[in-house]
Amino acid sequence: MATARKKAASEQAQSGDTKPGLRILKKYPNRRLYDTQTSSYITLADVKRMVLEGVEFEVHDAKTQEDLTRSILLQIILEEETGGVPMFSTSSLAQIIRFYGHAMQGVMGGLLERQMQAFTDLQSRFTEQTPGGMPFTPEAWTGLMGGYAEQSKTLMNQWQEQLKQAGVMFPFTPKK
């Protein structure tokens, strides 16, 4: 399946069938990234800045046209995790790894994506309601997290229901 996905991405890139406004970056064998929009080489820090600014982009292997976007994003996450205060604990990383190859991998990926989107939506609403761009205070974060916790609880209940339904087909026994 991964091979078919790579082939489709390669064919799409070769045919020029990309979304309008999508910025294409090329990764060369020397590990350098080339921004086709600005006709210049860029760094991972530049790519991170693009992510923070909400710029839509894809990274393609310059030779094969294979889509390397995920690997570049994972590389940025790795640098962030090793460069300062990590977002993920060792325990949470180990738990994520345990889901790879398990029947529930897709469910877990979907759950994490919905949780992150719910948090982002809540943060946006909070920012919009903050007069004059007032900075977040501890009290404000407490209120924000209370709303997020309620949304999170709803998503967790939905996930538990999906697990119950899937558990009939794929019983889960954690590895020890």
Domain locations in the chain? 2-83, 90-169
pLDDT digits (tens, 9 = 90+) for 99-116: 898 888 888 888 889 888
* β-pairing verdict for 57-61 and 23-27: parallel
What distance in Å separates the CA atoms of residue 61 and residue 173, rounded to the nearest whole number?
Answer: 39
Q: Please provide the average confidence, as pLDDT, over all residues in the chain.
A: 79
The DSSP-derived string for 101-143 is TSTTHHHHHHHHHHHHHHHHHHHHHHHHHSGGGPPPPHHHHHH
* Residue 115 identity: Q
Quick one: which of 48, 96, 99 has its CA closest to 73? Answer: 48
pLDDT at 8: 42
pLDDT tens digits, 122-171: 777 777 776 665 556 666 666 666 666 677 777 777 767 776 776 655 55
